[in-house]
Structure 1
């Protein structure tokens, strides 16, 4: 592309679409149908060509054949000679009109889905780059959408993750997908707000990290998780449930059709299957139904230093469950509990028995949800052990599980207040 004096440094896609395409002499050839950019990981996407409608066929014109984008005139080509083969998208290519304009993007900063009203191209040296996205909503007046020039929301392209739908291009950008840096609950919120095609693409990103995928399914609404899991094979379901907490896996299996429960259970590892079957035997609104079966318990003669080392090595356990270390006897009966803060403040050479609270607050597996909540509130507990009639430690209830069970059913749909610094743009400054 030549660097002409009249060529602007900034272009908006909305102003380019349907512009005449002409040769250098000004003879009309057709109209601009789309602009093509190539994804480049963490760099701004590079404009590689345009799609021109010529003679009723959409043809690819490489950017090297574009002489100039005049401020108001036609898109001028170097010559009238163009490749007459119909345009076919290649790996890593994004069509700005077809894939971005009017489509939704993931706002990685504020973690929600927004619609792209326009995109901005910026000239850098001899190249055009996709730099910004306008996410303002057109004004609706008397049934017609009106553009209001005073309402614009131009933001850095790097603050977004596009949902472009094209499989080969999705693969090309996966190593740099920012969505996998979001919290599982945030990704779950995105999926719950997504269309069927959007949720498929988001889950495609998440599937690349099996641990994250399991965490996301734990955060999804039960009906949606059941639908998404139900669309998979038994082996695929078992693969996800294997990495989930046993209590969440038990809930997920209970939501499957009856005919699929046993086949999925049989595909789980023996340890996970035993935990899930145990939990499925309890009322979901009881202490047994709420508890998790992963906790840290050891003999009272264990030193504080050894206990802290065990906490450091328990990366697979739920962090909330690690706020307490339980002391048990040789039969597994609960003797005492040591809070993590007490362990950190104690002499590493002391024993658990010396720093633990004897006769801890505990409940049986049939204790109902209200009593569990009252006990945890009255005693300011983050965790609550569940024991059988012989005081054998069966599991541990964490405060987050109680909150989830006691909040209104539609709590996930509430809009939470953003943090005071929540509007910072995560993207780098545009070129």
Structure 2
């Protein structure tokens, strides 16, 4: 590791790209795996948790790392593509050590861990040698607290945790992650740590993450929240995802949360829950881009530019007669974003409609939805009731969520790369 610095602050490694010797990207660092040792010995760094393509986390032993810094990591040799599973003797640096409250032995002062330094020992092992602390009493922890570094041997408090642990610095290290990536990190953590991270996320961010988690994780995290906050988070979720999650809860709990939600939000969710699960009505969203025919092309483009819209929802604008909230007035047609981009901004959206596409019905089956999208080369399609009123839209994302196996988020995509580094974890 002659090209590596002898000391690396680990929080700076979050999201850093990992490359093989040929310069091809292997993945991104999501965590580090260490073993805590007795008698004040510094933890030994076993390796990296790397997210590879397909959102699978694998283990890359430090013996495979030839260069490491805050910009990139270079590995050598074959990498085992088996999904990473944390062993009982192992500790995750980002997931379980950041934000831990520890005590400085000499002074008795307490602090929160916001970073750690690892360095190469004489025996060529990487170890956690120093800890960056933010000092203060329990009531004074915050960004303005005094910060400094101490040697690992000079602190105590890294025994298996029982007390509550915050998540401020872990989330700071992972704040640039997309919701799907953060969900993947949370999924691999112990339930207690998951709950602490959920408590630290704001409602909107937690809602985005929940939408990307398996149902079992969603129910566990939501169940750990108080009812008021759980209802607030459900309001931030897309109605179709909220309906799917509420359907997994005990009926009494589901009704309590629906009562606590804003009436309009709850009404959308109840309507979606009234449809059969594997139908267009059961998978659609009630929040597509809906405009009247006298809106301009500029209006339409402004709506589809909203950052919170998925690409599939932004692909179509649904033009209807008032009212504009589902169930709307009569559906007139849809406007494709490619057509909108070719029209003068001052033109009316009603003049750029595709009126030839037959809409779906709420009771359309998965097969019928799939055939419809494939036939017309669509990534989204309108769903209307018997009076041709728009009640929602189905996207290809919704369809795939229902066509794939229930545990698809846990099932890695096929990847190249063989070899076994698991026996190098000590």
Normalised to the residue count of structure 2, the TM-score between the two structures is 0.62
Matches within 5 A, 1:193-212: 193-204=188-199, 207-212=200-205
Q: Which residue does 2:185 correspond to in 1?
A: 190
Maintained 8 Å contact 1:192/1:224:
yes
8 Å CA contact 2:318, 2:334 repeated in 1 = yes
Unaligned segments of structure 2, at least 5 residues: 18-27, 50-60, 73-92, 102-111, 115-140, 144-167, 324-328, 418-426
Pairwise CA distance, 1:354? 1.8
Distance 1:106 1:228, change over 3 A: farther
Contact kept in structure 1, 2:278 and 2:365, CA below 8 Å: yes
Secondary structure of the 1:370 match is helix
What are the residue-to-residue correspondences of 1:306-321 with 2, within 5 Å?
Answer: 306-312=299-305, 314-315=306-307, 317-321=309-313
Q: 1:117·1:135 contact (CA, 8 Å) conserved in 2?
A: no
2:318 partner SS: strand
Give the Cα–Cα distance (whole angstroms) in 1 for the partners of residues 269 and 232 of structure 2.
14
Note closer, same or farther for the CA distance 1:252–1:44 as it changes in structure 2 (3 Å cut): same
Asked if residue 169 in structure 1 is aligned to residue 116 in structure 2, the reply is no
Q: Are the counterparts in 1 of residues 95 and 193 from structure 2 also a CA contact under 8 Å?
A: no
Question: Is the alpha carbon distance of 1:390 and 1:186 closer, same or farther for their aligned partners in structure 2, counting shifts above 3 Å?
Answer: same
Higher relative contact order (CA 8 A, sep 6+): 2
Give 1:230's aligned residue. 223
* Structure 1 segment 328-339 matched on structure 2, within 5 A: 328-330=320-322, 332-339=329-336
What SS class does the counterpart of residue 211 from structure 2 fall into?
helix
Alignment-derived partner of residue 116 in structure 1: 34
Question: Where does 1:266-415 land on structure 2 (aligned, <5 Å)?
Answer: 266-312=259-305, 314-315=306-307, 317-330=309-322, 332-415=329-412
Give the whole-Å Cα distance in 2 for the aligned partners of 1:152 and 1:111.
12
Shift of 1:308: 2.0
**2:208 is equivalent to residue 215 of structure 1:** yes
1:349 Cα deviation from its structure 2 partner? 2.7
Mapped to 2, the partners of 1:267 and 1:149 lie a distance apart of 50
Q: What CA deviation, in whole Å up to 9, does each residue of 1:38-77 have, x standing for no partner?
A: xxxxx948xxxxxxxxxxxxxxxxxxxxxxxxxxxxxxxx
**Matched position secondary structure for 1:386:** strand
How far apart are residue 202 of structure 1 and its match? 3.8
Structure 1 residues not aligned, in runs of 5+ = 1-9, 13-42, 46-93, 95-104, 120-129, 138-147, 421-431
Give the secondary structure class of the aligned counterpart of 2:394: strand
Question: Hey, what's the Cα distance between the residues in 2 that align with 1:111 and 1:151?
Answer: 14
Alignment of 1:26-41 (within 5 A): none
Q: Deviations over 1:299-347 (max 9, x none)?
A: 22322123223334x4554453121111212461111111111101112
**Alpha-carbon contact 2:227-2:257 (below 8 Å) kept:** yes
- Corresponding residue SS for 2:175: helix
Distance 1:118 1:256, change over 3 A: closer
Q: Pick closer, same or farther for the CA change 1:245–1:111 going to 2, 3 Å.
A: farther
CA-to-partner distance for each residue in 1:366-395, whole Å, 9 max, x for gaps? Answer: 111111111111211111100000100000
1:9-20 superposed matches below 5 A: none
Q: Which residue of 2 aligns with 1:241?
A: 234
Question: What SS is found at the alignment partner of 1:115?
Answer: strand
Change in Cα spacing, 1:111 to 1:336, as seen in structure 2 (3 Å) is: farther
Contact 1:210 1:240 in 2 (8 A): yes
Equivalent residue of 2:382, what SS?
strand
Q: CA RMSD in A?
A: 3.6
Maintained 8 Å contact 1:299/1:328: yes
CA contact (8 A) 1:329 1:335 kept: yes
Structure 1 distance, partners of 2:45, 2:182, is 22
CA distance in 2, matches of 1:232, 1:269: 18
> How many equivalent residue pairs?
300
Determine if contact 2:187/2:213 at 8 Å carries over to the other structure. yes
Q: TM-score, normalised by structure 1?
A: 0.61
1:155 to 64, 68, 71: 68
Instruction: Kindly indicate whether residue 257 of structure 2 is the aligned counterpart of residue 264 of structure 1.
Output: yes
Partner of 2:361, secondary structure, is coil
